[in-house]
């Protein structure tokens, strides 16, 4: 499946990421409806990482334009009081709009999408609040039944015989693939947390560790930790608006050249709406560190 990912993300101002294949919106910052236009009607599930305004302020317009018959389904961290408050406010402010569905998620909750796909929520360290769940990150997974390894090289006829004799479940196993990981805001990239993810969308608010604040990531740490993963692509978002595009590009290229990660790196620059990110030219590609 070719994943179509469109995003806009500027730290402090607005962050949203639309995974068109699944009708999934990850966070809903200001401007999401204006930028997606008619495509905003394709949003069926909204997974919000936390209640900071730059991740939720697009919900009002999205709801006003598109809510109908329980769609979109809006998911949020269970212990954030802001979301029930928003739900009540939306109902009063836009009584003519259809109703979305609002669901609080605990850490490790799994939400089924269409077919073999699902979204897993996990606790994020962006907001530390004891046992309360106030920030989540999300992983889009697929679960497919495939032949067990020992049967894979058998001729079709033998497999059919085995299936008839032993049943489907005896010769197959459920394989989970982690297609896309989305950090939301995070203090750092934890490699173990994202192990096995194919495409990682991670924040990198600051280019230098020394300017980093504890609840946000910095580029050197993100790239070092990401290099330990077997990714197909890394998409960096949520850069601070203090950096120009050229500064961000130069920092990624210089740092990636010394780490030589074996996956391409894409970046969403402050103020930019990047359409179909994986079809765009990466900032850095393996074996071509001399780009630009």
Which secondary structure element, helix H or strand E, spans residue 32, and what is its range?
A: helix 32-36
Length of the chain: 292
CA angle 13, 32, 275 (to 5 degrees): 100
185 binds Zn ion (CB under 5 A): yes
Least distance in angstroms from the C-beta of 206 to Zn ion:
12
**CA–CA gap between residue 215 and residue 186 (Å, rounded):** 6
Number of residues that bind Zn ion (CB under 5 A): 2
Q: Which is nearer to Zn ion, 30 or 185 (CB)?
A: 185
66-97 CB burial, b ≥16 within 10 A, e <16: bbeeebbbbbbbbbbebbeebbeebeeeeeeb
**Residue 137 found at the interface with Zn ion (CB under 5 A):** no
CB of 7 to Zn ion, least distance (A): 13
Minimum distance from CB of 24 to Zn ion (Å)? Answer: 18
Least Cβ distance, residue 274 to Zn ion (angstroms): 17
> Alpha helix (H) ranges present in 172-274?
219-226, 245-259
Which is closer to Zn ion, CB of 28 or CB of 105?
28
- Nearer CB in complex with Zn ion: 8/21: 8
175 vs 213, beta carbon nearer Zn ion:
213
SS3 31: coil
Scan residues 26-65 and list those touching Zn ion (CB under 5 A).
Answer: 54
Q: Considering the rule CB under 5 A, would residue 188 count as an interface residue with Zn ion?
A: no
Stretch that binds Zn ion, among 80-88, 118-126, 159-167, 184-192 (CB under 5 A): 184-192
Q: Looking at beta carbons only, is 203 or 256 nearer to Zn ion?
A: 203
Please, what is the minimum distance in Å from the beta carbon of residue 14 to Zn ion?
A: 9
Q: Measure the CA angle with vertex 206, ends 289 and 286; round to 5°.
A: 15
Question: What span, in angstroms and rounded, lies between the C-alpha atoms of 55 and 14?
Answer: 6
Residues forming the site for Zn ion (CB under 5 A): 54, 185
């Amino acid at each position: 499946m070719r994943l179509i990912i469109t995003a806009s993300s500027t730290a402090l101002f607005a962050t949203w990421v639309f995974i068109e294949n699944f009708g999934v919106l990850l966070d809903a910052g200001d401007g999401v409806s204006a930028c997606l236009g008619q495509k905003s009607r394709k949003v069926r599930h909204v997974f919000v990482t936390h209640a900071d305004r730059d991740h939720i302020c697009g919900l009002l317009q999205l709801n006003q334009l598109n809510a109908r018959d329980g769609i979109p389904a809006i998911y949020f961290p269970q212990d954030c009081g802001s979301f029930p408050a928003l739900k009540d406010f939306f109902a009063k402010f836009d009584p003519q709009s259809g109703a979305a569905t609002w669901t609080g998620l605990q850490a490790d909750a799994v939400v089924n999408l269409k077919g073999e796909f699902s979204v897993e929520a996990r606790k994020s360290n962006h907001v530390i609040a004891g046992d309360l769940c106030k920030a989540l990150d999300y992983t889009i997974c697929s679960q497919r039944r495939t032949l067990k390894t020992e049967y894979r090289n058998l001729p079709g006829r033998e497999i059919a015989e085995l299936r008839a004799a032993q049943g489907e479940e005896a010769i197959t196993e459920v394989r989970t693939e982690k297609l896309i990981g989305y950090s939301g805001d995070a203090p750092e990239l934890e490699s173990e947390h994202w192990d096995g993810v194919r495409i990682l969308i991670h924040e990198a608010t600051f280019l230098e560790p020394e300017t980093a604040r504890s609840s946000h990531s910095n580029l050197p740490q993100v790239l070092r930790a990401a290099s330990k993963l077997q990714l197909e692509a890394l998409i960096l978002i949520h850069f601070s608006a203090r950096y120009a595009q050229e500064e961000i590009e130069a920092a990624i290229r210089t740092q990636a050249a010394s780490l030589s990660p074996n996956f391409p790196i894409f970046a969403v620059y402050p103020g930019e709406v990047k359409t179909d990110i994986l079809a765009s030219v990466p900032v850095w590609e393996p074996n071509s560190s001399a780009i630009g």
